[in-house]
């Protein structure tokens, strides 16, 4: 892979790095809000893949961009429900740390 | 080496650095700011790939709505006193190892794959029905959403409605309590 010109591989590698960073954030964050923010990173990596395949492989089609729009919509819905859950957990347990939320643990 | 390539490398470098700062930052508020940077620059990547409408949607929905929502959640749930506390748990080292392993497997595969070969048998590149020659990106996306993707489009609007009602039900105070 050469550095120039920028092609599909470069976007895919960038997206893979972003995905790995997002996974790292989901696994290591203690704050529930931080975990939700890291999932946004993962969804963005997926969107970059969608648009890159659309642009480099099928420039005449629009399926990649349309699906990226659907992913953005669902990410917004997921964020709103997730934040509502965080606020609700904070109200009952006075904490948003993942380790303190263990009522389902036996 | 065109100007677009240089822009791609600048955007990619800043995106990766900001994402790393986002997951390692001690203050959750700084993380939200770095998330806003990452999301805006991903919008810049969409512009480089000639997806103008998607770039606008990215800025409007992600930076305009989702980041604001996250900052509201941080301000509603922040506890005073543990700001200097470490934000990551004991899994840091295994998580770094797992992510590096993941990249070590995936990146060589992505780099070596012959992407220029014709698509696999059965793949139909002519899914561009309703694409009007000479129309702009926005016109084409609007036509595609209303013709080819009508069902997913309606389904997503239903999912948004359910998420809206669900968020209100989950976050409101218990009337009995």
pLDDT at residue A78, as a whole number: 93
3-state secondary structure of A66: helix
Q: What are phi and psi of A97, to 5 degrees?
A: -75, 135
Task: Say yes or no to pLDDT of A40 above 90.
Answer: yes
Taking CB atoms and an 8 Å cutoff, what residues of chain B touch A95?
A: 79
ipTM > 0.95 for the complex: no
pLDDT 10s digits, B58-101: 999 999 999 999 998 888 887 654 555 666 677 888 999 999 99
Question: Is B65 an 8 Å CB contact of chain A?
Answer: yes
Chain B nearest-CA distance from A58, in A, is: 6
Task: Say yes or no to pLDDT of B120 above 90.
Answer: no
pLDDT at residue B172, as a whole number: 84
Task: Say yes or no to pLDDT of B164 above 60.
Answer: yes
State the distance between the two ends of chain B, measured CA to CA, in whole angstroms: 65
Higher-confidence position of B84 and A62: A62
List, in sequence order, every beta strand (DSSP E) within B31-172.
Answer: none
Mean pLDDT over B32-53 rounds to 93
**Mean pLDDT, rounded, of chain B:** 84
Class of residue B147 by CB neighbours under 10 A (exposed 0-12, middle 13-18, buried 19+): exposed
Contact B55, B46 (CB under 8 A): yes
Task: Say yes or no to pLDDT of B126 above 80.
Answer: no
pLDDT at residue B136, as a whole number: 75
Question: Is B14 an 8 Å CB contact of chain A?
Answer: no
* Interface contact B57-A13, CB threshold 8 A: no
Task: Say yes or no to pLDDT of B28 above 80.
Answer: yes
At what angle are helices B92-112 and A8-28 packed, to 10 degrees?
A: 170
**Mean pLDDT, rounded, of chain A:** 88
Task: Say yes or no to pLDDT of B45 above 90.
Answer: yes
Q: Which one of A16, A40, A99 has the shortest CB-CB distance to B107?
A: A16
* Interface contact A68-B61, CB threshold 8 A: no
Interface with chain B: mutation pick from A2, A18, A31, highest number of B CBs within 10 Å: A31
Mean pLDDT over A23-29 rounds to 91
Task: Say yes or no to pLDDT of A17 above 70.
Answer: yes
> With bands split at pLDDT 50, 70 and 90, how would you rate the model's confidence at B134?
low
Interface with chain B: mutation pick from A7, A10, A24, highest number of B CBs within 10 Å: A24
Task: Give the residue from B56, B115, B88 showing the smallest Cα distance to A10.
Answer: B115
Q: Nearest 5 degrees, angle CA B23-CA A22-CA B62?
A: 90
Task: Say yes or no to pLDDT of A30 above 80.
Answer: yes
CB contact burial A55-77 (16+ within 10 A = b; e otherwise): bbebeebbbbbbbbbbbbbebbb
pLDDT at residue B76, as a whole number: 85
Say which range, A54-58, B16-20, B33-37, B59-63, has the weakest mean pLDDT.
A54-58
Q: What are phi and psi of B88, to 5 degrees?
A: -115, 150
Count CA within 13 A, CB hemisphere, residue A62.
27
Contact A16, B98 (CB under 8 A): no
Task: Say yes or no to pLDDT of B15 above 70.
Answer: yes
d(CA B75, CA A48): 30
* Interface contact B115-A8, CB threshold 8 A: yes
Mean pLDDT over B14-34 rounds to 91
3-state secondary structure of B175: coil
Taking CB atoms and an 8 Å cutoff, what residues of chain B touch A40?
A: 35, 39, 62, 66
pLDDT 10s digits, B98-114: 999 999 999 999 888 88
């Amino acid at each position: 892979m050469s550095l120039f010109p920028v092609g599909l591989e470069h976007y895919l590698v960038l997206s893979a790095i972003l995905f790995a960073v997002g996974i790292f954030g989901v696994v290591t964050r203690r704050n529930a809000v931080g975990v939700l923010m890291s999932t946004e990173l993962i969804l963005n990596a997926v969107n970059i893949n969608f648009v890159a395949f659309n642009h480099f492989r099928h420039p005449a089609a629009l399926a990649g961009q349309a699906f990226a729009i659907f992913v953005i919509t669902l990410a917004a819905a997921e964020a709103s429900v997730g934040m509502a859950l965080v606020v609700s957990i904070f109200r009952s347990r006075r904490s948003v740390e993942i380790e303190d939320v263990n009522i389902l643990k036996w | 080496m065109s100007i677009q390539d240089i822009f791609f490398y600048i955007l990619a470098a800043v995106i990766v650095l900001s994402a790393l700062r986002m997951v390692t930052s001690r203050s959750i508020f700084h993380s939200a700011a770095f998330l806003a940077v990452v999301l805006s620059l991903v919008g810049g990547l969409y512009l480089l790939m000639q997806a103008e409408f998607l770039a606008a949607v990215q800025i409007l929905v992600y930076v305009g709505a989702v980041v604001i929502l996250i900052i509201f959640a941080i301000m509603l749930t922040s506890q005073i006193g543990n700001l200097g506390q470490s934000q990551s748990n004991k899994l840091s080292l295994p998580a770094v190892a797992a992510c590096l392993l993941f990249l070590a497997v995936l990146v060589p595969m992505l780099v070596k794959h012959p992407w220029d070969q014709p698509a696999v048998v059965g793949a139909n590149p002519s899914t561009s029905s309703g694409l009007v020659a000479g129309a702009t990106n926005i016109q084409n996306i609007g036509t595609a959403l209303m013709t080819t993707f009508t069902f997913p489009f309606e389904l997503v609007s239903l999912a948004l409605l359910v998420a809206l009602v669900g968020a209100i039900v989950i976050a409101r105070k218990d009337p009995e309590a």
